[in-house]
């Protein structure tokens, strides 16, 4: 419709202008309050001041909406109890310097199912071999399944079918790896 007033577009302008409005700065609602308002029927239970502020503050509206999505995702997860075939795991390494691997490292995932090892070459420590090991048989086996291992920054360390309980490859840039968090996804 040619004469349709685009409320959405006007609200976008309002959003971008009022997001950094300094007059609202000291009045923003706490995360705890926004979380409670994001629960089912939470608006109804909120006070007048909170509802007034929320409905006129782009920043609080955004946080409230993200709490809404979080609450819904938790509710959906509890309700549907979906079966999944993927396996997800992670491991953590807290070290003084996590960037770059210069000496052999062996890490076990939090679930204990996977072992990630990095073996730098003695003469060229930025190059080396990365391996993932997992039980070859039994209930925890991932044999013949596709696995991806990533470092904290999303760098793919290993990718491929698990065979004989193992996945391995040569890696040329061990100095780029950050193992402070590493993840395994098996499909």
Partner 1 sequence: MTKIHLLITKEETRLVKRIASNVLSKYFPAGKRDSASKDELYHWGIVGLCEAKQRYDKSRGIPFPAFSARRIEGEMLDNIRKLPIVRLPQEKQNKVKELKAVKEELLKTGESVAPENLALRLEWSLEEVHQVINLSPTIKFLDNTTQDEDDDRVPGDIIKDDSLNPEELNMKKQIADYVNRCLEALDANPDRIVIQGRFNLEQTLKELADELNCSIQQVSNIQRRAEGLMKDCLKKQGLGQ
Structure tokens at 70: 């979080």
> What three-state secondary structure class fits 42?
helix
Asked if 13 touches partner 1 (CB under 8 A), the answer is yes
Asked if 168 touches partner 1 (CB under 8 A), the answer is no
Shortest distance, CB of residue 45 to partner 1, whole angstroms?
9
Q: Which residues contact 153 (CB under 8 A, 6 or more apart)?
A: 178
- Residue 95, CB-side half-sphere exposure with 13 Å CA sphere: 16
User: Would you tell me how many other CB atoms lie within 10 Å of the CB of residue 108?
Assistant: 14
Q: Are 105 and 93 in contact (CB under 8 A)?
A: yes
- Which element (helix H / strand E) includes 183? strand 181-186
- Residue 158, CB-side half-sphere exposure with 13 Å CA sphere: 28
Kindly determine how many residues on this chain lie close enough to bind partner 1 according to the rule CB under 8 A: 77
Longest dimension (CA), the chain: 73
Nearer to partner 1 by Cβ, of 10 and 140: the residue is 10
Structure tokens at 185: 């996804």
Q: Which of residues 67-96 bind partner 1 (CB under 8 A)?
A: 67-74, 76-78, 80-82, 84, 86, 88-95
Nearer to partner 1 by Cβ, of 75 and 123: the residue is 75
Shortest distance, CB of residue 80 to partner 1, whole angstroms?
8
Provide the mask over 123-162, with x wherever binding to partner 1 is found by CB under 8 A and - wherever it is not: -------------------------x-x-x-x--------
Using CB under 8 A, which of 20, 27, 136, 140 touches partner 1? Answer: 20
Shortest distance, CB of residue 116 to partner 1, whole angstroms?
12
Q: Which of residues 91-130 bind partner 1 (CB under 8 A)?
A: 91-95, 107, 110-111
């Amino acid at each position: 419709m040619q004469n349709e007033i685009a409320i959405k577009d006007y609200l976008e302008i309002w959003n971008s202008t009022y997001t950094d409005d300094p007059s609202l700065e000291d009045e923003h609602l706490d995360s705890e309050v926004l979380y409670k308002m994001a629960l089912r029927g939470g608006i109804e239970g909120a006070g007048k001041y909170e509802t007034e502020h929320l409905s006129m503050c782009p920043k609080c509206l955004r946080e409230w909406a993200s709490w809404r999505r979080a609450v819904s995702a938790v509710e959906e997860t509890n309700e549907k109890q979906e079966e999944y075939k993927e396996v997800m795991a992670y491991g953590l390494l807290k070290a003084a310097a996590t960037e770059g691997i210069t000496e052999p490292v062996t890490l076990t995932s939090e679930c204990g199912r996977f072992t990630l090892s990095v073996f730098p070459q003695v003469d060229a420590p930025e190059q080396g071999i990365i391996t993932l090991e997992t039980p070859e048989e039994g209930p925890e086996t991932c044999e013949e399944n596709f696995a991806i291992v990533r470092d904290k920054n999303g760098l793919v360390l290993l990718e491929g079918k698990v065979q004989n309980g193992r996945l391995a490859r040569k890696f040329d840039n061990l100095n780029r790896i950050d193992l402070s968090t590493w993840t395994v996804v098996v499909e």
